[in-house]
């Protein structure tokens, strides 16, 4: 009896594994990068880092799994999305440290190797890697009927690169920094044990039940692939910011903690370097004394602008506030008026009063109406 037949009798189909892998080799090969020194299939993947691209290169690695979202995929008999899930999850994990993904490896542990599960999972992995220029360097498929039964598990390992002085650790975060939220499209790959309990056990819903509020079936909603945030992070890191807006800590101001407010502004200006720093003091909530103190704080901390408001408070800019600011700020601080400016005449009055900038979402229409 041939070796492959012996394995097949034990529940492991080697010939089928080769057949299914051949179906996705083209997709996987499309992710190849020049740094790869050998084709996939060796005992180890070979990847030569081009050190000429880096000053102080640091490798960042992470490993993760899709978890019980795989159970939803089996219930729906749809597997390409979980391939995206494992790649995007791993990419995001190293992205938060500023690392660019360079290569990825997968592990599939399965009870019974079958089509289209295998091709769809690997096809999803290849497609997701291709979108972020991350090479599929290799992987492992282990068919173990005695271990997994009819189930399977999916794990990914990723390696990325980042300059040592560009590693993001969060250590530089200071009070007053802005937190930017990027919208998700669902649970990604987290919390599925709880979600399954609520949806299937408590609500007694099935994967094919349509929820009107979702506009799709439970299964479709739960299988939405994990969003990859690296393109957005990469763009933000590349573009940076030329200006920074911060809102003062109103609680500190109301408690008379003016030195602490000044120090927060100073630290943010220091971290921002040559970036323009605009300090929003929300004049609508301050007394005249507090407004004057904020003029002194902004000046002493070295900020570039003092700004009247965010536009979300109970009131916007007033000419009286601009006159007051002009009187008490230092010579290197400029004024930006925002909120409550509704006409070309308003704009002209604020500029004449001493404003260097006007903040309004209707500037173009105001100027056109005033022609």
Residue 247 and residue 232 share a domain: no
Q: At what angle do helices 117-131 and 80-95 cross, to 10 degrees?
A: 30
Q: What is the pLDDT of residue 221?
A: 93
- The CA-atom distances, in angstroms, between 292 and each of 31, 219, 259, 289 are 60, 58, 14, 5
Q: What is the pLDDT of residue 6?
A: 74
Q: Is the pLDDT of residue 107 over 90?
A: yes
Q: What is the pLDDT of residue 196?
A: 94
Q: Is the pLDDT of residue 346 over 90?
A: no
Domain tally for the chain?
2
Residue 232 and residue 262 share a domain: no
Active site residue 307: yes
Other CB atoms within a 10 A radius of the CB of residue 196 amount to 16
Q: What is the pLDDT of residue 362?
A: 60
Domain boundary pick from 202, 236, 270: 236
Residue 57 and residue 79 share a domain: yes
Encode pLDDT of 62-105 as tens digits. 999 999 999 999 999 999 999 999 999 999 999 999 999 999 99
Average pLDDT value for the chain: 90
Q: 47 or 178, which is more confident?
A: 47
Residue 209 and residue 358 share a domain: no
Residue 260 and residue 157 share a domain: no
CA 5 to chain centre: 48
Q: Is the pLDDT of residue 235 over 80?
A: yes
CATH of the domain at 106: 3.30.1330.10
Instruction: Say if residues 324 and 288 touch (Cβ distance below 8 Å).
Output: yes
Residue 25 and residue 57 share a domain: yes
Q: What is the pLDDT of residue 330?
A: 96
Residue 347 and residue 264 share a domain: yes
Closest by Cα among 105, 110, 144 to 10: 144
Encode pLDDT of 17-47 as tens digits. 888 888 988 999 999 999 999 988 888 999 9
From the list 245, 278, 321, 334, the catalytic residue is: 245
Residue 283 and residue 152 share a domain: no
User: For the chain, what percent of residues have pLDDT higher than 70?
Assistant: 95
Give the chain's length: 371
Please state whether 287 falls in left (phi above 0), alpha (psi between -120 and 50) or beta. beta
Instruction: Say if residues 353 and 326 touch (Cβ distance below 8 Å).
Output: yes
Domain boundary pick from 183, 205, 236: 236
Backbone φ, ψ for residue 161 (5° rounding):
-130, 145
Q: Is the pLDDT of residue 181 over 80?
A: no
Residue 261 and residue 212 share a domain: no
Average pLDDT over residues 133-161: 95
Residue 272 and residue 221 share a domain: no
Domain boundary pick from 186, 215, 236: 236
pTM over 0.75: no
Q: Is the pLDDT of residue 310 over 90?
A: no
User: What's the order of all strands across the beta sheet hosting 305-307?
Assistant: 243-247, 276-280, 305-307, 334-338, 357-359
Q: What is the pLDDT of residue 204?
A: 95
CATH of the domain at 296: 3.20.20.70
Q: 178 or 263, which is more confident?
A: 263
Residue 352 and residue 261 share a domain: yes
Active site residue 336: yes
Domain extent for 163: 3-236
Q: What is the pLDDT of residue 17?
A: 81
Active site residue 172: no
Backbone φ, ψ for residue 301 (5° rounding):
-80, -10
Residue 191 and residue 107 share a domain: yes
Pair type for strands 305-307 and 276-280 = parallel
At 17 the three-state DSSP class reads helix
From the list 69, 278, 307, 334, the catalytic residue is: 307
């Amino acid at each position: 009896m041939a070796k492959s037949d012996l394995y097949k009798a034990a529940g492991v189909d080697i010939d089928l594994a080769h057949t299914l892998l051949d179906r996705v080799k083209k997709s996987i090969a499309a992710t190849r990068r020049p740094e790869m020194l050998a084709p996939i299939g060796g005992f180890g993947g070979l990847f030569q880092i081009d050190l000429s691209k880096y000053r102080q290169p640091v490798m960042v690695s992470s490993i993760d799994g899709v978890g019980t979202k795989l159970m939803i995929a089996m219930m729906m008999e749809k597997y390409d999305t979980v391939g995206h899930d494992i790649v995007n999850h791993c990419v995001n994990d190293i992205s938060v440290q500023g690392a660019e993904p360079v290569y990825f490896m997968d592990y599939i542990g399965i009870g019974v190797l079958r089509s289209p599960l295998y091709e769809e999972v690997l096809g999803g992995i290849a497609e997701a890697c291709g979108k972020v220029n991350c090479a599929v360097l290799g992987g492992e498929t282990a068919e173990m009927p005695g271990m997994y039964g009819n189930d399977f598990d999916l794990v990914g390992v990723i390696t990325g690169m980042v300059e040592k002085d560009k590693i993001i650790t969060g250590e530089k975060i200071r009070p007053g920094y802005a937190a930017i939220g990027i919208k998700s499209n669902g649970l990604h790959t987290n919390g599925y044990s709880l979600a399954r309990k609520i949806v299937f056990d408590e609500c007694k819903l099935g994967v094919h039940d349509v929820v009107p509020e979702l506009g799709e079936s439970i299964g479709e909603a739960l299988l939405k692939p994990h969003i990859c945030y690296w393109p957005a992070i990469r763009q933000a890191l590349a573009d940076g910011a030329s200006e920074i807006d911060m809102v003062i800590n109103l609680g500190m101001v109301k408690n008379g903690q003016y030195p602490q407010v000044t120090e927060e502004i100073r630290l943010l200006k220091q971290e921002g370097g040559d970036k323009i720093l605009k300090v929003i003091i929300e004049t609508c909530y301050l007394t005249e004394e507090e407004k004057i103190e904020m003029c002194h704080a902004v000046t002493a901390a070295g900020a570039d602008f003092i700004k009247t408001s965010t536009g979300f408070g109970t009131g916007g800019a007033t000419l009286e506030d601009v006159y007051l600011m002009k009187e008490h700020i230092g010579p290197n601080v400029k004024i930006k008026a925002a909120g409550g400016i509704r006409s070309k005449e308003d704009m002209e009055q604020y500029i004449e009063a001493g404003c260097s900038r006007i903040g309004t979402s209707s500037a173009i229409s105001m100027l056109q109406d005033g022609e």
